[in-house]
Amino acid sequence: MTVLLFTLIVLIGAFLAGLLGSLTGLGGGVIIIPLLTLGLGVDIHYAIGASIISVIATSSGSAAAYVKEGITNVRIGMFLEIATTISAIVGVVIATAIKADYIIVIFGVILLFSAFMMLKKKVDHSNNEQTSILANYFKLNGSYPTEGGLKQYAVHHVVGGFAMMFVAGTLSGLLGIGSGALKVIGMDNIMKIPFKVSTTTSNFMIGVTAAASALVYLHKGQIDPVIAMPVTLGVICGATIGAKILIRTKTDKLKIVFAVVVTFLALQMIYKGLTGNA
Amino acid sequence: MSKEIKHYLGDKDVQVILGTLLRVGVIVSTSIVLIGGIIFMSSHTQAVVSFEHFKPEEAKFSSIADILFGVRSFDGLAIIQFGVLLLIFTPIARVVFSIFSFLMEKDYMYVLIGLIVLCVIIASLYLDVTH
Protein backbone atom coordinates (compact mmCIF):
# COMPACT_ATOMS: atom_id res chain seq x y z
CA MET A 1 0.00 0.00 0.00
CA THR A 2 1.35 3.46 -0.80
CA VAL A 3 1.88 6.05 1.93
CA LEU A 4 -0.75 8.32 0.37
CA LEU A 5 -3.50 5.69 0.35
CA PHE A 6 -2.61 4.44 3.83
CA THR A 7 -2.63 7.99 5.25
CA LEU A 8 -5.99 8.83 3.66
CA ILE A 9 -7.70 5.66 4.94
CA VAL A 10 -6.33 6.08 8.47
CA LEU A 11 -7.19 9.79 8.45
CA ILE A 12 -10.86 9.10 7.61
CA GLY A 13 -11.01 6.16 10.04
CA ALA A 14 -9.44 8.16 12.87
CA PHE A 15 -11.83 11.04 12.20
CA LEU A 16 -14.82 8.69 12.56
CA ALA A 17 -13.22 7.11 15.64
CA GLY A 18 -12.81 10.52 17.29
CA LEU A 19 -16.33 11.60 16.30
CA LEU A 20 -18.11 8.43 17.47
CA GLY A 21 -15.82 8.10 20.48
CA SER A 22 -16.76 11.51 21.82
CA LEU A 23 -20.48 11.17 20.90
CA THR A 24 -20.85 7.85 22.71
CA GLY A 25 -18.31 8.44 25.47
CA LEU A 26 -16.42 5.30 24.51
CA GLY A 27 -13.18 7.05 23.56
CA GLY A 28 -11.12 6.74 20.39
CA GLY A 29 -8.80 3.82 21.21
CA VAL A 30 -11.42 1.10 21.04
CA ILE A 31 -12.10 1.92 17.38
CA ILE A 32 -8.56 2.76 16.24
CA ILE A 33 -7.20 -0.68 17.18
CA PRO A 34 -9.78 -2.79 15.24
CA LEU A 35 -9.53 -0.37 12.29
CA LEU A 36 -5.77 -0.78 12.05
CA THR A 37 -5.55 -4.50 12.83
CA LEU A 38 -8.69 -5.92 11.18
CA GLY A 39 -9.05 -3.29 8.45
CA LEU A 40 -5.49 -2.62 7.38
CA GLY A 41 -3.57 -5.64 8.66
CA VAL A 42 -1.36 -3.53 10.92
CA ASP A 43 0.51 -5.45 13.66
CA ILE A 44 -1.17 -5.11 17.07
CA HIS A 45 2.00 -3.52 18.56
CA TYR A 46 1.83 -0.57 16.16
CA ALA A 47 -1.96 -0.35 16.61
CA ILE A 48 -1.55 -0.07 20.39
CA GLY A 49 1.10 2.65 20.00
CA ALA A 50 -1.19 4.66 17.71
CA SER A 51 -4.16 4.12 20.00
CA ILE A 52 -2.41 5.42 23.12
CA ILE A 53 -1.66 8.66 21.23
CA SER A 54 -5.33 8.98 20.25
CA VAL A 55 -6.29 8.46 23.91
CA ILE A 56 -4.07 11.36 25.02
CA ALA A 57 -5.37 13.58 22.20
CA THR A 58 -9.05 13.00 23.09
CA SER A 59 -8.38 13.32 26.83
CA SER A 60 -6.56 16.66 26.56
CA GLY A 61 -8.98 17.97 23.93
CA SER A 62 -12.11 17.22 25.93
CA ALA A 63 -10.48 18.28 29.22
CA ALA A 64 -9.99 21.74 27.75
CA ALA A 65 -13.73 21.81 26.98
CA TYR A 66 -14.73 20.49 30.43
CA VAL A 67 -12.65 23.03 32.34
CA LYS A 68 -15.31 25.76 32.08
CA GLU A 69 -17.47 23.73 34.46
CA GLY A 70 -14.59 23.58 36.94
CA ILE A 71 -15.57 20.42 38.79
CA THR A 72 -12.56 18.14 38.42
CA ASN A 73 -11.47 16.94 41.86
CA VAL A 74 -7.71 17.22 41.36
CA ARG A 75 -7.02 15.53 44.72
CA ILE A 76 -9.04 12.40 43.85
CA GLY A 77 -7.40 12.35 40.41
CA MET A 78 -3.87 12.76 41.70
CA PHE A 79 -4.37 10.25 44.52
CA LEU A 80 -5.71 7.56 42.17
CA GLU A 81 -3.04 8.33 39.55
CA ILE A 82 -0.49 6.73 41.89
CA ALA A 83 -2.34 3.47 41.19
CA THR A 84 -3.02 4.05 37.47
CA THR A 85 0.49 5.19 36.45
CA ILE A 86 2.33 2.40 38.30
CA SER A 87 -0.08 -0.22 36.96
CA ALA A 88 0.07 1.20 33.43
CA ILE A 89 3.79 0.50 33.38
CA VAL A 90 3.09 -2.98 34.80
CA GLY A 91 0.63 -3.41 31.88
CA VAL A 92 3.27 -2.46 29.31
CA VAL A 93 5.72 -4.92 30.87
CA ILE A 94 3.06 -7.68 30.70
CA ALA A 95 2.42 -6.77 27.05
CA THR A 96 6.10 -7.39 26.32
CA ALA A 97 6.05 -10.76 28.05
CA ILE A 98 2.90 -12.39 26.61
CA LYS A 99 2.00 -13.50 23.08
CA ALA A 100 0.33 -10.94 20.81
CA ASP A 101 -2.61 -13.34 20.30
CA TYR A 102 -3.48 -13.12 24.00
CA ILE A 103 -3.42 -9.31 23.88
CA ILE A 104 -5.86 -9.39 20.96
CA VAL A 105 -8.24 -11.72 22.83
CA ILE A 106 -8.11 -9.61 26.02
CA PHE A 107 -8.76 -6.53 23.90
CA GLY A 108 -11.84 -8.17 22.38
CA VAL A 109 -13.21 -9.07 25.82
CA ILE A 110 -12.69 -5.52 27.14
CA LEU A 111 -14.35 -4.19 23.98
CA LEU A 112 -17.44 -6.34 24.65
CA PHE A 113 -17.49 -5.14 28.24
CA SER A 114 -17.18 -1.48 27.16
CA ALA A 115 -20.12 -1.87 24.75
CA PHE A 116 -22.21 -3.32 27.59
CA MET A 117 -21.21 -0.52 29.98
CA MET A 118 -22.04 2.11 27.36
CA LEU A 119 -25.67 0.91 27.18
CA LYS A 120 -26.12 0.32 30.89
CA LYS A 121 -27.98 3.12 32.61
CA LYS A 122 -25.71 4.96 34.99
CA VAL A 123 -26.94 5.42 38.55
CA ASP A 124 -25.68 8.23 40.73
CA HIS A 125 -24.78 6.71 44.12
CA SER A 126 -23.36 9.89 45.64
CA ASN A 127 -24.20 11.08 49.15
CA ASN A 128 -22.61 13.19 51.85
CA GLU A 129 -22.09 10.65 54.63
CA GLN A 130 -18.46 11.34 55.45
CA THR A 131 -17.75 7.98 57.05
CA SER A 132 -14.54 6.91 55.31
CA ILE A 133 -11.46 7.52 57.48
CA LEU A 134 -9.13 7.35 54.46
CA ALA A 135 -11.26 9.78 52.44
CA ASN A 136 -11.03 12.26 55.32
CA TYR A 137 -7.31 11.71 55.78
CA PHE A 138 -6.57 12.23 52.07
CA LYS A 139 -9.05 15.13 51.82
CA LEU A 140 -10.93 13.47 48.98
CA ASN A 141 -14.41 14.73 49.91
CA GLY A 142 -15.41 17.81 47.97
CA SER A 143 -18.16 19.99 46.62
CA TYR A 144 -19.36 21.17 43.24
CA PRO A 145 -21.54 24.11 42.19
CA THR A 146 -25.22 23.54 41.34
CA GLU A 147 -28.05 25.99 40.75
CA GLY A 148 -28.94 25.69 44.43
CA GLY A 149 -25.42 26.49 45.63
CA LEU A 150 -22.47 24.27 46.49
CA LYS A 151 -23.31 20.60 46.85
CA GLN A 152 -21.10 18.57 49.19
CA TYR A 153 -20.23 14.95 48.49
CA ALA A 154 -18.34 12.26 50.37
CA VAL A 155 -16.01 9.63 48.90
CA HIS A 156 -16.38 5.98 49.98
CA HIS A 157 -14.41 2.73 49.79
CA VAL A 158 -11.05 4.32 49.04
CA VAL A 159 -9.14 1.00 49.11
CA GLY A 160 -11.62 -0.70 46.76
CA GLY A 161 -11.54 2.24 44.35
CA PHE A 162 -7.74 2.32 44.44
CA ALA A 163 -7.62 -1.42 43.65
CA MET A 164 -10.05 -0.96 40.74
CA MET A 165 -7.83 1.81 39.35
CA PHE A 166 -4.92 -0.59 39.50
CA VAL A 167 -6.85 -2.96 37.21
CA ALA A 168 -7.88 -0.08 34.93
CA GLY A 169 -4.29 1.16 34.67
CA THR A 170 -2.91 -2.31 33.90
CA LEU A 171 -5.39 -2.77 31.04
CA SER A 172 -4.66 0.75 29.81
CA GLY A 173 -0.94 -0.01 29.58
CA LEU A 174 -1.48 -3.52 28.20
CA LEU A 175 -3.96 -2.55 25.46
CA GLY A 176 -3.25 1.12 24.78
CA ILE A 177 -6.77 2.21 25.71
CA GLY A 178 -8.15 4.76 28.20
CA SER A 179 -10.02 2.13 30.28
CA GLY A 180 -12.84 4.64 30.77
CA ALA A 181 -15.43 1.93 31.45
CA LEU A 182 -13.43 0.48 34.35
CA LYS A 183 -12.65 3.90 35.79
CA VAL A 184 -16.40 4.61 35.81
CA ILE A 185 -17.00 1.45 37.88
CA GLY A 186 -14.25 2.47 40.29
CA MET A 187 -15.39 6.05 40.76
CA ASP A 188 -19.20 5.92 40.35
CA ASN A 189 -20.05 2.52 41.78
CA ILE A 190 -17.33 1.81 44.34
CA MET A 191 -16.25 5.26 45.53
CA LYS A 192 -19.73 6.77 44.96
CA ILE A 193 -18.45 9.98 43.41
CA PRO A 194 -21.15 12.09 41.66
CA PHE A 195 -21.19 11.96 37.79
CA LYS A 196 -20.37 15.63 37.38
CA VAL A 197 -17.12 15.07 39.23
CA SER A 198 -16.24 11.54 38.10
CA THR A 199 -16.52 12.22 34.34
CA THR A 200 -14.00 15.06 34.30
CA THR A 201 -11.75 13.58 36.97
CA SER A 202 -11.50 10.23 35.16
CA ASN A 203 -10.70 12.12 31.96
CA PHE A 204 -7.82 13.87 33.78
CA MET A 205 -6.56 10.48 34.95
CA ILE A 206 -6.87 8.88 31.51
CA GLY A 207 -4.49 11.46 30.00
CA VAL A 208 -1.86 11.15 32.73
CA THR A 209 -2.02 7.33 32.72
CA ALA A 210 -1.73 7.18 28.95
CA ALA A 211 1.26 9.54 29.03
CA ALA A 212 3.14 7.14 31.33
CA SER A 213 2.60 4.14 29.05
CA ALA A 214 3.07 6.19 25.85
CA LEU A 215 6.65 7.03 26.84
CA VAL A 216 7.44 3.34 27.28
CA TYR A 217 5.75 2.48 23.96
CA LEU A 218 7.79 5.20 22.25
CA HIS A 219 11.02 3.64 23.51
CA LYS A 220 9.88 0.21 22.40
CA GLY A 221 9.44 1.52 18.85
CA GLN A 222 5.68 0.97 18.84
CA ILE A 223 4.80 4.57 17.98
CA ASP A 224 5.42 4.89 14.26
CA PRO A 225 5.19 8.46 12.90
CA VAL A 226 3.64 7.32 9.60
CA ILE A 227 0.65 5.90 11.55
CA ALA A 228 0.70 8.48 14.35
CA MET A 229 0.33 11.42 11.94
CA PRO A 230 -3.10 10.60 10.42
CA VAL A 231 -4.33 9.13 13.73
CA THR A 232 -3.54 12.30 15.71
CA LEU A 233 -4.96 14.68 13.10
CA GLY A 234 -8.08 12.61 12.43
CA VAL A 235 -8.95 11.90 16.05
CA ILE A 236 -8.54 15.50 17.17
CA CYS A 237 -10.75 16.84 14.34
CA GLY A 238 -13.37 14.16 14.97
CA ALA A 239 -13.41 14.58 18.75
CA THR A 240 -13.65 18.38 18.53
CA ILE A 241 -16.62 18.24 16.15
CA GLY A 242 -18.18 15.43 18.20
CA ALA A 243 -18.00 17.49 21.40
CA LYS A 244 -19.82 20.35 19.64
CA ILE A 245 -22.59 18.09 18.26
CA LEU A 246 -22.98 16.40 21.64
CA ILE A 247 -24.20 19.60 23.32
CA ARG A 248 -27.38 19.72 21.20
CA THR A 249 -28.09 16.11 20.23
CA LYS A 250 -29.44 13.04 22.01
CA THR A 251 -27.22 10.04 21.43
CA ASP A 252 -29.34 7.16 22.82
CA LYS A 253 -30.09 5.58 19.42
CA LEU A 254 -26.56 6.12 18.17
CA LYS A 255 -25.25 4.32 21.26
CA ILE A 256 -27.34 1.22 20.46
CA VAL A 257 -26.18 1.12 16.83
CA PHE A 258 -22.62 1.71 17.94
CA ALA A 259 -22.81 -1.03 20.60
CA VAL A 260 -23.82 -3.52 17.88
CA VAL A 261 -20.87 -2.46 15.69
CA VAL A 262 -18.46 -2.63 18.63
CA THR A 263 -19.75 -6.08 19.64
CA PHE A 264 -19.18 -7.30 16.09
CA LEU A 265 -15.63 -5.90 16.09
CA ALA A 266 -14.97 -7.41 19.52
CA LEU A 267 -16.02 -10.90 18.37
CA GLN A 268 -13.84 -10.57 15.29
CA MET A 269 -10.85 -9.58 17.43
CA ILE A 270 -11.43 -12.55 19.77
CA TYR A 271 -11.69 -14.88 16.76
CA LYS A 272 -8.53 -13.42 15.24
CA GLY A 273 -6.62 -13.88 18.50
CA LEU A 274 -7.86 -17.44 19.09
CA THR A 275 -7.13 -18.65 15.57
CA GLY A 276 -3.66 -17.12 15.71
CA ASN A 277 -4.08 -14.91 12.66
CA ALA A 278 -2.35 -12.04 14.40
CA MET B 1 -19.12 28.52 54.30
CA SER B 2 -17.31 31.68 53.13
CA LYS B 3 -14.01 29.85 53.35
CA GLU B 4 -15.34 27.13 51.06
CA ILE B 5 -16.50 29.64 48.46
CA LYS B 6 -13.11 31.33 48.46
CA HIS B 7 -11.47 27.93 48.08
CA TYR B 8 -13.74 27.13 45.15
CA LEU B 9 -12.95 30.43 43.39
CA GLY B 10 -9.24 29.76 43.80
CA ASP B 11 -9.74 26.37 42.20
CA LYS B 12 -11.70 27.99 39.40
CA ASP B 13 -8.77 30.30 38.51
CA VAL B 14 -6.45 27.32 38.47
CA GLN B 15 -8.91 25.46 36.23
CA VAL B 16 -9.07 28.34 33.72
CA ILE B 17 -5.28 28.46 33.42
CA LEU B 18 -5.25 24.67 33.11
CA GLY B 19 -7.85 24.77 30.34
CA THR B 20 -5.73 27.23 28.38
CA LEU B 21 -2.63 25.10 28.96
CA LEU B 22 -4.38 21.99 27.63
CA ARG B 23 -5.86 23.75 24.62
CA VAL B 24 -2.52 25.36 23.69
CA GLY B 25 -0.78 22.00 24.19
CA VAL B 26 -3.18 20.20 21.87
CA ILE B 27 -3.18 22.95 19.20
CA VAL B 28 0.61 23.36 19.14
CA SER B 29 1.35 19.63 19.05
CA THR B 30 -1.29 18.98 16.36
CA SER B 31 0.13 21.81 14.22
CA ILE B 32 3.64 20.39 14.52
CA VAL B 33 2.35 16.91 13.54
CA LEU B 34 0.62 18.52 10.53
CA ILE B 35 3.78 20.38 9.46
CA GLY B 36 5.87 17.20 9.80
CA GLY B 37 3.20 15.32 7.86
CA ILE B 38 3.27 17.80 4.99
CA ILE B 39 7.09 17.69 4.80
CA PHE B 40 7.06 13.88 4.83
CA MET B 41 4.20 13.53 2.33
CA SER B 42 5.74 16.01 -0.11
CA SER B 43 8.41 13.47 -0.99
CA HIS B 44 7.02 10.08 0.03
CA THR B 45 3.44 9.80 -1.27
CA GLN B 46 4.22 6.88 -3.57
CA ALA B 47 6.53 5.04 -1.17
CA VAL B 48 5.18 1.65 -0.12
CA VAL B 49 4.50 0.96 3.56
CA SER B 50 3.70 -2.22 5.41
CA PHE B 51 3.06 -2.59 9.12
CA GLU B 52 2.17 -6.27 9.02
CA HIS B 53 5.11 -7.24 11.20
CA PHE B 54 6.41 -5.45 14.24
CA LYS B 55 10.05 -4.50 13.66
CA PRO B 56 11.25 -2.49 16.66
CA GLU B 57 14.83 -2.54 15.38
CA GLU B 58 13.75 -0.45 12.38
CA ALA B 59 12.14 2.28 14.48
CA LYS B 60 14.08 5.43 13.70
CA PHE B 61 12.72 7.94 16.18
CA SER B 62 12.09 6.02 19.38
CA SER B 63 14.01 8.15 21.87
CA ILE B 64 13.85 11.83 22.75
CA ALA B 65 17.49 12.31 21.70
CA ASP B 66 16.90 10.74 18.25
CA ILE B 67 13.76 12.84 17.73
CA LEU B 68 15.53 16.11 18.61
CA PHE B 69 18.45 15.16 16.37
CA GLY B 70 16.08 14.44 13.47
CA VAL B 71 14.16 17.68 13.97
CA ARG B 72 17.39 19.65 13.53
CA SER B 73 17.92 18.10 10.11
CA PHE B 74 14.29 18.95 9.23
CA ASP B 75 13.23 15.32 8.83
CA GLY B 76 9.44 15.14 8.36
CA LEU B 77 9.03 11.96 10.40
CA ALA B 78 11.12 13.38 13.26
CA ILE B 79 8.94 16.51 13.28
CA ILE B 80 5.77 14.36 13.46
CA GLN B 81 7.31 12.43 16.34
CA PHE B 82 8.25 15.71 18.07
CA GLY B 83 4.61 16.81 17.87
CA VAL B 84 3.54 13.45 19.31
CA LEU B 85 6.07 13.94 22.12
CA LEU B 86 4.59 17.36 22.95
CA LEU B 87 1.13 15.78 22.99
CA ILE B 88 2.39 13.18 25.48
CA PHE B 89 3.85 15.96 27.63
CA THR B 90 0.57 17.92 27.78
CA PRO B 91 -1.02 15.79 30.56
CA ILE B 92 2.36 15.62 32.32
CA ALA B 93 2.44 19.43 32.34
CA ARG B 94 -0.96 19.23 34.01
CA VAL B 95 0.53 17.15 36.83
CA VAL B 96 3.41 19.62 37.27
CA PHE B 97 0.94 22.51 37.30
CA SER B 98 -1.18 20.78 39.95
CA ILE B 99 1.88 20.23 42.14
CA PHE B 100 2.57 23.98 42.06
CA SER B 101 -1.00 24.82 42.95
CA PHE B 102 -0.85 22.41 45.90
CA LEU B 103 2.39 24.09 46.95
CA MET B 104 0.67 27.48 46.90
CA GLU B 105 -2.14 26.05 49.02
CA LYS B 106 0.55 24.70 51.41
CA ASP B 107 -0.98 21.23 51.05
CA TYR B 108 2.30 19.34 51.42
CA MET B 109 0.71 15.89 51.50
CA TYR B 110 -0.55 16.46 47.94
CA VAL B 111 2.71 18.03 46.83
CA LEU B 112 4.24 14.69 47.84
CA ILE B 113 1.50 12.64 46.10
CA GLY B 114 1.95 14.72 42.93
CA LEU B 115 5.72 14.21 43.07
CA ILE B 116 5.23 10.44 43.39
CA VAL B 117 3.07 10.44 40.24
CA LEU B 118 5.64 12.58 38.43
CA CYS B 119 8.47 10.25 39.51
CA VAL B 120 6.57 7.21 38.15
CA ILE B 121 6.16 8.96 34.79
CA ILE B 122 9.84 10.00 34.70
CA ALA B 123 10.82 6.44 35.65
CA SER B 124 8.84 5.21 32.63
CA LEU B 125 11.20 7.27 30.46
CA TYR B 126 14.12 5.19 31.62
CA LEU B 127 12.41 1.84 31.72
CA ASP B 128 13.98 -0.59 29.29
CA VAL B 129 11.49 -3.27 28.30
CA THR B 130 12.61 -3.97 24.76
CA HIS B 131 12.26 -7.52 23.50
For B107-120, what is each residue's pLDDT tens digit? Answer: 999 999 999 999 99
Whole-number mean pLDDT of chain A? 89
More confident residue, A46 or A250: A46
Q: Are A211 and B92 in contact (CB under 8 A)?
A: yes
pLDDT digits (tens, 9 = 90+) for A73-127: 889 999 999 999 999 999 999 998 999 999 999 999 999 998 888 888 778 888 8
10 Å CB burial of residue B58 (0-12, 13-18, 19+) is: exposed
pLDDT exceeds cutoff 70 at A8: yes
Under the banding of pLDDT at 50, 70 and 90, the label for residue A247 is confident
In angstroms, the separation between the Cα of residue A204 and the nearest Cα of chain B is 8
More confident residue, A90 or A28: A90
pLDDT exceeds cutoff 60 at B26: yes
10 Å CB burial of residue A161 (0-12, 13-18, 19+) is: buried
A54-63, A243-252, B5-14, B53-62: segment of lowest average pLDDT: B5-14
Across the strands, what pairs with A2?
B48
A23-32, A209-218, B44-53, B122-131: segment of lowest average pLDDT: B122-131
State the sign of the Cα–Cα–Cα–Cα dihedral A56, B77, A107, A34: positive
Distance between CA atoms of residues A195 and A123, nearest Å: 9
Contact B110 A75 (CB under 8 A): yes
Q: What proportion of chain A, given as a percentage, has pLDDT over 90?
A: 54
pLDDT exceeds cutoff 90 at B31: yes
Nearest to B15 among A67, A143, A228 (CB): A67
Distance between CA atoms of residues A113 and A267, nearest Å: 12
Strand, helix or coil for residue B48: strand
> What is the number of domains present in chain A?
1
pLDDT exceeds cutoff 60 at B3: no
> In sequence order, what are the residues at sequence separation of 6 or more whose Cβ sits closer than 8 angstroms to the Cβ of residue B47?
A2, A3
ipTM of model: 0.90
User: Looking at residues A181-186, what average pLDDT do you find?
Assistant: 86
Polymer length of chain A: 278
pLDDT digits (tens, 9 = 90+) for A44-73: 999 999 999 999 988 887 776 665 555 788
More confident residue, A181 or A88: A88
Contact B51 A57 (CB under 8 A): no
pLDDT digits (tens, 9 = 90+) for A125-140: 888 888 888 998 899 9
- DSSP result, chain A: -BHHHHHHHHHHHHHHHHHHHHHHTS-SHHHHHHIIIIIH---HHHHHHHHHHHHHHHHHHHHHHHGGG----HHHHHHHHHHHHHHHHHHHHHHHHS-HHHHHHHHHHHHHHHHHHHHSPP----------HHHHHTT--EEEEETTEEEEE----HHHHHHHHHHHHHHHHHHTS--HHHHHIIIIIIS---HHHHHHHHHHHHHHHHHHHHHHHHHTT---HHHHHHHHHHHHHHHHHHHHHHTT---HHHHHHHHHHHHHHHHHHHHHHHHT--
Q: Nearest residue of B to residue A68 by CA position?
A: B16
- Measured in degrees and rounded to the nearest 5, phi and psi for residue B105 equal -80, -5
A2-16, A31-45, A137-151, B19-33: segment of lowest average pLDDT: A137-151
Amino acid making up residue A269: M
> What pLDDT was estimated at residue B5?
45
Nearest to B81 among A75, A210, A225 (CB): A225
State which residues form the domain around A118.
3-275
Distances (CA, A) of A207 to A204, A247, B22: 6, 22, 11
pLDDT exceeds cutoff 50 at B23: yes
Which of A220, A227, A240 best probes binding to B when mutated, by most B CB atoms within 10 angstroms? A220
Distance between CA atoms of residues A210 and A75, nearest Å: 19
Whole-structure pTM value: 0.90
Under the banding of pLDDT at 50, 70 and 90, the label for residue A157 is very high
